[in-house]
Amino acid sequence: MRIPTRHAGNREQPTVGMTPMIDVIFQLLIFFICTSSFLPPERVLPTNMLLPGSTAETVPIDPIRQDLDEIVVKVLWRSGEPRWEVNSRQYARLEDVGGVLSAVAGVQVDLPVILDIDAAVPMANVIDVYDLCRRIGLQRVQFAAAAGA
Whole-prediction pTM: 0.52
Q: Residues 67-78: what's their mean pLDDT? A: 80
Q: What is the pLDDT of residue 68?
A: 64
* Amino acid present at 60: P
118 versus 44: the higher-pLDDT residue is: 118
Determine what percent of the chain is predicted with pLDDT higher than 70. 70
Q: Which CATH architecture has domain 66-143?
A: 2-Layer Sandwich (3.30)
CA separation for the pair 120, 77 (Å, rounded): 6
CA separation for the pair 134, 23 (Å, rounded): 47
The number of angstroms, rounded, from the C-alpha of 73 to the middle of its chain's C-alpha atoms is: 20
Residue 99 has pLDDT above 70, yes or no: yes
93 versus 145: the higher-pLDDT residue is: 93
pLDDT in tens, 19-56: 888 999 999 999 988 888 766 555 555 556 666 666 66
State the distance between the two ends of the chain, measured CA to CA, in whole angstroms: 111
What lies within 8 Å, CB to CB, of 138 at 6+ separation is: 101, 104, 105, 109, 111, 113
Domain ranges of the chain: 66-143
CA separation for the pair 73, 121 (Å, rounded): 13
Give phi and psi for 65, each to the nearest 5. -85, -15
Q: What is the pLDDT of residue 64?
A: 47
